[in-house]
A = this chain, B = another copy of it.
Amino acid sequence: MPRRINSKAKSFDGKCQTLAFLAKALSDENRLRILLSVSSGKKSVSRIVEDLQLSQPLVSHHLKELKRSLLVRVERSGPFIYYEIVDPRIVEILEDMNVIATDLLANRTTF
Tell me, rounded to whole Å, the shortest Cβ–Cβ distance linking A5 to chain B: 6
Q: Which residues of B contact A90 (CB under 8 A)?
A: 100
Q: Are A12 and B26 in contact (CB under 8 A)?
A: no
Say whether chain A's binding surface is mostly helix, strand, loop, or mixed. Answer: helix
A65 within 8 A of B: no
Q: CB-CB < 8 A to A104: which residues of B?
A: 22, 70-71, 86-87
Chain B residues whose C-beta falls within 8 Å of the C-beta of A51 in the assembled complex: 5, 9
CB pair B22–A101 under 8 Å, yes or no, is: yes
> Which residues of B have CB within 8 Å of A12?
32-33, 36, 94, 98
Known: A27-B27, A71-B104. A97 touches B33 (CB 8 A): no
Q: Is there an interface contact between B108 and A19, defined as CB atoms closer than 8 Å?
A: no
